[in-house]
Homo-oligomer: A and B are copies of this chain.
Amino acid sequence: MSRTLSDDHSSWFTPDELTSLRHRLPFLYVDIVPVRVDGDGVITRIATLLRTPREGPIQRALVSGRVMYHERLRDAIARHIDKDLGPMALPRLPASIVPFTVAEYFPTPGITPYHDPRQHAVSLAYIVPVDGDCQPSQDALDIAWYTPEEIIDPAVISEVVDGHGALIRTALATTGRLI
- The distance in angstroms between the C-alpha atoms of A35 and B92, with both chains bound, is 14
Partner of A25 from B27, B41, B108, B173 at Cβ < 8 Å: B27
The copy count of this chain in the complex is 4
- The distance in angstroms between the C-alpha atoms of A26 and B93, with both chains bound, is 21
Q: Which chain B residues lie closer than 8 Å to A120 at the CB level?
A: 69-70
| Minimum Cβ distance to chain B for residue A70 (Å) | 5
Q: Which chain B residues lie closer than 8 Å to A78 at the CB level?
A: 40
Contact mask A67-87 → B, CB, 8 Å, 1/0?
A: 111111111001000000000
The verdict on A10 contacting chain B, using a C-beta distance below 8 Å, is yes
Tell me if B95 and A98 are in contact (CB < 8 A).
no
- The distance in angstroms between the C-alpha atoms of A16 and B136, with both chains bound, is 42
Tell me if B72 and A108 are in contact (CB < 8 A).
no
- The distance in angstroms between the C-alpha atoms of A21 and B11, with both chains bound, is 8
Given the contacts A27-B25, A40-B75, A92 and B93 also touching, CB distance less than 8 Å: no
The verdict on A2 contacting chain B, using a C-beta distance below 8 Å, is yes
* Interchain residue pairs A-B with the least CB separation, the first 5: A41-B93, A173-B173, A166-B179, A11-B24, A96-B175
